[in-house]
Structure 1
Amino acid sequence: MTAVLVVLVILAIFVITALAKTVKIIPQARAGVVERFGKYKDTLTPGLNVIVPFVDKVRYMIDMREQVVTFPPQPVITEDNLTVSIDTVIYFQVNDPIAATYEIANYIQAVEQLTMTTLRNIAGGMDLEETLTSRERINTGLSTVLDEATGRWGIKVKRVEVKSIDPPMSIKDAMEKQMRADRDKRAAILTAEGQRQSSILSAEGNKQSAILNAEGQRESQILRAQADREAAILRAQGEGQAIQTVFQAIHDGQPDQSLLAYQYLQMMPKIAEGDANKVWIVPSEIGKALEGLGSSLSNLQGIPQETDGPRTRVDLGAPAPELGTVGTAASNAAEEAVKAAIAEADSAANTGASNGAPGQAEPPADEPAPEQP
């Protein structure tokens, strides 16, 4: 009984193991390579698959998705004998799981080595500066070579990217110094250009300012000269009108010899006024003025006996308003003083006429000028 139970247990274990080896579940985007006695038998697709237990065996499980592999930096010598480190990233996908299994032992390592050799070949034909600035060229060259080489391995290289290109530290320092010098040079050039533009603009501004100032001064001088000319013309016209007005008033009044002689005598004290006037000369006409002070027959040299009045009349404007009762005392006193002086002069003339020929006074003879005291 015990032996039968042991046999049943062993048989159950065998059945379970056989079922486990018979049923295979393949995940999505995977492919299982089945071998029978070490020889390729079939490729299992995603889902539930049945194989012969203990005869068929799933040797490899291939990932059919696109994969990303990054490789460590690889030292590369450029054309100008400088070593740089280039780090790359490759995107690839397995299209044929049978070829990827049996055509190449390790396709990832093969891709890495092929990338390294191709990268050295491409970078060896470029100098350092070209290598640093030709990433697209390196990517295109790597993609072309890897696509041709990995096609027979059942692999499709989708894309190749250069992550970084690192030159040696000494080269980096030299490049940084060169870049710093270039930046300083550009900054100095821009500063000089800015100063030049500023100087040019300042000079142009000063020029325009000087031109505008000169034009302003010229116009100011022209306007000032015109104003002076017009002022002189108006001043001359005013003086001319004033002279005409004075002469018109004189001729309209028709002064006689007595009035002119009296005014002549009134000017004599003003000649002697002043502290510095110690010596003054008496004109020779003073005697004649005294002789003909009250006589209508006496004449002074330079004063015409008859006046016909001005030939050119000047408009004097509206007549001055008459003075009222207020302020007439001064004018009455002046008239009385003039009348008294005229009467005194007439009495003196009559006295002189009585001593001479009656009826007509002889014109005064020319007398020599009095000697200077």
Structure 2
Amino acid sequence: MTEDQILSLLRSNLVWILIAVLIFVVIFKGIQIVPQSEQYVVERFGRLRAVLGPGINLIVPFLDVVRHRISILERQLPNASQDAITRDNVLVEVETSVFYRIVQPEKTVYRIRDADAAIATTVAGIVRAEIGKMDLDDVQANRSALIATIKEAVEDAVENWGIEVTRAELLDVNLDEATRAAMLQQLNAERARRAHVTEAEGKKRAVELHADAELYAADQAAKARRIQADAEAYATEVVARAIADNGVEAAQYQVALKQVEALNALGNGPSSQTILVPAHALEAFGNAFNMLKGTKA
């Protein structure tokens, strides 16, 4: 084989090699494999051509260029602190955190240069505006409602940037030393007031219980007197019925019996040796003895 033939063969092989390399480059440039967590922004002659989603995508080589590779994973802004003044003129320092993700990369790329800084600035302004509408006590008590309001306001503000705010957090609300001392003093005063109220209520309850006890005792004594009166009335009724049934003799007999029992009790006393009895009393006792004797006969 001559030298010319060898050169001709090399030239022809080189052409095929160049063609093969060109085909490989075209294929390499025309096929774009996009990861699951990303989206590609493709431009043609400097203009937006397409947004490539995850998987295998085909573009026109040398005309279409992947200009931006955008992660669609959820992101967290660095925790930020900003001062705000409440409606009752209390200066507070609010610490916030925002989570977001890019849902429309073409808007994020062409409408905002620094999305993180823009979102942080927007959050700071919204937090100051919302806290300025509330008193300090409302900020502490309605934190969940405040977070929801801030999240909704931030969503509306960043919607044109192709960004979705997934979560907004109000991490802490700090007060200056003067306000903190005043609130501590107020808290101590409130605790003292509650202690005094509790003590007063305890004393009031003790008085009420004592009065209830006295009322109960009086009620029980009244019931006892009522029962005793009923018993005496019943006894009187029985005596009256006996007198009505048996006549005056039954009553005289009972009186005589009581007189004799009284005399015996007087005579049996330990210190009674001599008994002085009026004359009319002796006559009454005699009548009683006669009545008893007649009854036994």
TM-score band by shorter chain is 0.5 to 0.7
Given that 1:241 and 1:314 are in contact with CA atoms closer than 8 Å, whether structure 2 keeps it comes out as no
Q: Which of 254, 257, 263 in structure 2 is aligned with 1:238? A: 257
Residue aligning to 1:187: 195
Q: Distance in 1 between matches of 2:61 and 2:175?
A: 58
Q: Which residue of 2 aligns with 1:26?
A: 34
3-state SS, counterpart of residue 28 of structure 1: coil
Matched, 1:104 2:123: no
Identity of aligned residues (%): 28
Q: Which residue is 1:204 aligned to?
A: 212
Matching residue of 2:150? 142
Structure of greater relative contact order (alpha carbons < 8 Å, 6+ residues apart): 2
Assess if the C-alpha contact under 8 Å between 1:77 and 1:124 holds in 2. yes
Q: Could you tell me which runs of 5 or more consecutive residues in structure 2 were left unpaired when the two chains were aligned.
A: 1-5, 240-250, 262-289
Computed over aligned residues only, the root mean square deviation of the Cα atoms, in angstroms, reads: 4.1
Shift in Å, 1:85:
1.5
Q: Name the structure with the higher strand share.
A: 2
Change (3 A) 1:101 1:234: farther
Give the counterpart of 2:173 among 156, 165, 168.
Answer: 165
One-letter amino acid of the counterpart of residue 314, structure 1 = G
What residue in structure 1 maps to residue 68 of structure 2? 60
Q: Offset of 1:110 from its aligned partner? A: 0.8
- 1:158 Cα offset (Å): 4.6
For the pair 1:131 / 2:139, whether they are aligned, the reply is yes
Distance 2:167 2:151 in 1: 6
Code of the residue aligned with 1:74 in structure 2: it is Q
Do the aligned partners of residues 148 and 311 (structure 1) sit closer, same or farther apart at CA in structure 2, a change above 3 Å counting?
closer
Moved more, 196-205 or 82-91: 82-91
Secondary structure of residue in 2 paired with 1:105: coil
Report the TM-score, using the length of structure 1 for normalisation: 0.52
2:67 corresponds to 1:48: no
Contact residue 253 and residue 291 of structure 2 kept, 8 A: no
Q: Output the CA distance in 2 between the equivalents of 1:52 and 1:312.
A: 148
For each residue in 1:192-248, what CA deviation from the matched residue of structure 2 results, as whole angstroms up to 9, or x when unmatched? 112201211112202321442465467669969999xx9x97763337899xxxxxx
CA distance in 1 between partners of 2:112 and 2:291 (Å): 143
Question: Quick one: distance in 1 between partners of 2:31 and 2:139?
Answer: 55
Match of 1:118 in 2: 126
Tell whether the 8 Å contact from 1:71 to 1:112 is kept in structure 2 after alignment: no
Counterpart CA distance in 1 for 2:80 and 2:104 is 27
1:172 is displaced (CA, Å) by 2.4
Q: What CA distance in whole angstroms lies between the structure 2 residues aligned with 1:311 and 1:117?
A: 119
Change beyond 3 A, Cα 1:313–1:99:
closer
Assess if the C-alpha contact under 8 Å between 2:32 and 2:56 holds in 1.
yes
Task: Report deviation, 1:54.
Answer: 5.2
The 5 A counterparts of 1:299-318 are: 314-316=294-296
Quote how far apart the aligned CAs of 1:152 are. Answer: 1.7
TM-score by length of 2: 0.64
String of CA shifts for 1:304-333, please: whole Å, max 9, x gaps: xxxxxx99993536xxxxxxxxxxxxxxxx
Distance (Å, rounded) in 1 between the aligned partners of 2:206 and 2:105? 73
Report the CA distance shift for 1:116/1:316 in structure 2 as closer, same or farther (over 3 A): closer
Q: Indicate whether 1:87 and 2:87 are aligned.
A: no
